[in-house]
Structure 1
């Protein structure tokens, strides 16, 4: 196929176009609304917090099991076909789930339909990263790729964190202003409209120059299981565990003080700082290597979580969360940068969805364990879990530093 090349001095904004970034940002919202929206509907309609928690976990299970497969399908058949099918399928599953919950169906059917929501969830964030990484690698001069890639991963991570703060807020607004089912219906509409627009954007038609012109076939599936790539998945699993354990234990912490609804406000202190620092990664000097960044910023995260044992007031908790925010955003950006540089030929969408699923699995597992521990033992026990999650991320960074000596970083 004949490729249309953009001049090599063009910026990524010109290559992708401003509408692309706007569409991709809004298309992430439904994913951020799903878990909280499902929990809200089930608790409202069935009056069971336990069933609500299981249902939210079922959504995460569906995403974890099918996310990498959807990424592989996008690599094989192209993003456009896969995303169009998912936009329709996921929108339908959100409506089906709402009908099942309010229709009085047995709990097993509720859980099964929740798995269906997760299984059909459009992987907008990983696929957006895959598109942009392809553009950078194949349509920009080599001397500009490293900094542009760093800036792109920083933007994508900041966009994800912004959406995951705003998504639950939007769920609360719609549920309060209209009805508990409104967030899921709204998510269904956003999915069909904006995920569909993301699928139809011209960037979805862009094919790899390497594969087209040189005729090289995609790398084998075995390349996805190299230690240098798997250690990144382990590291991002730790980040997901941190998100799940921190929010859940923080909610328990504030509930002990009679203000559980303020947990989101305190959590926002970390989220805002994390997003700002994530964007700042693009301006770090090149001599501050990726493996050193992972160790440095995950170390800051570990320091922040180590303070949780001494926290006894919302003010002290805010200080600890601010320190964690300095570490978590740049750590996430660095991990995605490693994944981009180590993606096997023709498998970038698969790799990015592996990382996205790692976050979801870690978040779901962390939230479930933290919730049980907080209810059964107490908040102080639950607050140990973010420290363990941060230790997983830091240890993976140390292992990555060792593996990077054997396989040097690639820009």
Structure 2
């Protein structure tokens, strides 16, 4: 469906596309599980094992299989179609979550220190390996629903902002839930959301119309050729996000907002909320603008904007100015990620669109994980302000590298597949 010339592309027009609201609502219901299950697993494992070390190891296994096997799961969807791949994938995911919940709630294992770490780690890794890639699949379906590029830009922006809000809402719901139920109950709630959302998603006419090897109706590219720029740029964005999460906490503690007072976590939470708010505003504005500049040219500019604002955050004298600087940095996050998805969609062949989105998604998540590890090392021996500047400089170098590749109009970018 193309936008009518008499109908200006907008978010309202996107949601009026036949089957869009139903499909999007179902996908968001399932994706809310992503914001609930990880935190619930971590809290439940901590309570069951009585060890933060065990909980950290279990979550590392869950996160690693979730992130790094995402392209492989996406390849199954491209090859077999969403319905044939997602249904068994979801069934396996729910089954492993049920086994994990059972292990955490079994009376013999319920006391701290009794739960076998190897069993919990194995079940968590298996669950992560089966996580259905609803985000990349929904973005591929958006490509079929809105082949008009202006509408697709708005659809991706709306999708990105909604997903970010889900990752804020999920932990809040877990916080409410653990007030009157064991943490493992959050796993059950997350599983129920995934089951209900997936049932609605795969039964949607928009998803039923997708055939294996044809996850969108558009001109094909060369498989996954051309993904180098968006993957590199978004890995840099993810790195910045992982660093900022830890540096904000360190900043609050070192500026007297946490040490000895117990307020550092609360102050850091407000600063990180400003990051999310800035990202949401930037994402909505980015989707509303009728850009004349191609997405390939916008991506390094947006990445550079993030780098510059992070350098500015390094000059913040207090928590108030840091909040403003971090909100300004967030303004570039969602637009950069949305633009990367647009480039990936444009570059990928029809039979590889889910994988293309999954590679971008993997890049931001892997970058974030690496960023958290790097920030922990940097913050141990550098002033926090200088850590922000170093991070901003790395993001600026990433933007420069992407800009050079864009200027050369290279056609040799190919993400290696296993």
Unaligned runs of at least 5 residues, structure 2: 8-12, 259-263, 413-418
Query: Which residue of structure 2 aligns with residue 91 of structure 1?
Result: 94
Q: Contact 1:301–1:327 at 8 Å: present in 2 too? A: yes
Aligned length: 388
Are residues 1:179 and 2:182 paired? yes
In 1, Cα distance between equivalents of 2:347 and 2:329? 27
| Cα 1:63/1:110, change in 2 over 3 Å | same
Superposed, 1:183-332 pairs within 5 Å as 183-207=186-210, 223-224=223-224, 226=225, 228-256=226-254, 257-258=257-258, 259-332=264-337
Change over 3 Å in CA distance of 1:34–1:380 after alignment to 2? farther
Is it true that 1:107 corresponds to 2:117 in the alignment? Answer: yes
Is there any run of 5+ residues in structure 1 with no aligned partner, and where? 1-5, 138-144
Deviates more, 1:373-382 or 1:282-291: 373-382
> 1:68 offset after TM fit, Å?
0.8
Q: Secondary structure of the equivalent of 1:286?
A: coil
Give distance in 1, aligned partners of 2:41 and 2:388: 26
Deviation track 1:153-204 (CA, whole Å, cap 9, x = no partner) reads: 1111111211122122222222233222222221111111112221222221
Deviation of 1:60 (Å): 1.9
Q: Does 1:362 align with 2:360?
A: no
- Structure 1 position 301, deviation (Å): 0.7
Cα distance in 1 between the residues matched to 2:401 and 2:51? 38
TM-score calculated relative to the size of structure 2: 0.83
Of 2, 19, 36, the residue aligned with 1:16 is 19
- The structure carrying a bigger helix percent of its residues is 1
- After superposition, give the CA deviation of every residue in 1:292-344 in whole Å (9 maximum; x if it has no partner): 32132222211111123223421021011121022112111111111111112
Listed one character per residue, the Cα deviations across residues 236-287 of structure 1 (whole Å, up to 9, x for unaligned) are 2222222222112222333442121332222111211211211212332432
Counterpart of 1:128 in structure 2 is: 138
8 Å Cα contact 1:273/1:325 also seen in 2: yes
The 8 Å contact of residues 249 and 370 in structure 1, kept in 2 or not, is answered as: yes
Distance between the aligned counterparts of 1:400 and 1:177, measured in 2? 54
Q: Deviations over 1:216-251 (max 9, x none)?
A: 9x987xx32x3x212211222222222222112222
Q: CA RMSD in A?
A: 3.0
Alpha-carbon distance in structure 2 between the residues aligned to 1:300 and 1:325: 10
Aligned to 1:340: 345
Q: TM-score, normalised by structure 1?
A: 0.84
SS at match of 2:144: helix
Specify whether residues 132 and 385 from structure 1 end up closer, same or farther in structure 2 by C-alpha distance, changes over 3 A only. Answer: same
